[in-house]
Amino acid sequence: MDRRFLEEDGQPYVLAVGCQQCLWQNLRQRRVDKIADEISADAWSRLNIADGAKGPGAHDWAAGHRWSIECCFEAAKQETGLDNYEVRSWHDWYRHITLSMTALALLGVIRVTANEAALGGKPTSRTRRSTK
C-alpha cells in the first residue's frame, strides 16, 4: 500500500526506513541511525504490534507520545471541528483551538461515563480508579 493513500484515508501507519535515510531535524538533514543513537536507552521500549506468520511482530519504539498526540488532533478534527475555522488573528485561532480541545475532552468523559453505565457501573479498561 502506498503511504500517500494511507495518509489521505487518515489511516495510522508505521514506516520502516533504512539507517542511511535522512530526516529533517533542527533545519538540517540527519541520518536516521544518528538520530536514534542520541535517544537515551530508557526512552526505548519493545512493543508487540501484531502476531504474524513468523511469530510476534515485536519492534523497539521511542518518542511514542507523538502518535497519541496526532491521534488526538485527528479526532478533534473529525468530532469537534478543530480544522473548521476562519479567523483573522492569533487570539481568535487560540480560542477556537482551546474550545475544540476542551469539547473533545468533554466528549471523552461522556463516553467513559456512558460505557461504565452500560456495564453496570464497572470501570472500563481505559479508566483508572483508585482501589481505596
Give dist(CA 116, CA 97) in Å, integer: 29
pLDDT at residue 81, as a whole number: 92
Give dist(CA 6, CA 3) in Å, integer: 5
Which pTM was predicted? 0.47
pLDDT at residue 122, as a whole number: 67
- The string over 12-46, giving b where at least 16 C-beta atoms fall within 10 Å of a residue's C-beta and e elsewhere, is eeeeeeeeeeeeeeeeeeeeeeeeeeeeeeeeeee
pLDDT at residue 2, as a whole number: 65
Below-50 pLDDT ranges, the chain: 127-132
pLDDT at residue 132, as a whole number: 43
Q: Which segments within the chain are labelled E, that is strand?
A: 22-25, 28-31, 45-52, 55-61
pLDDT at residue 103, as a whole number: 95
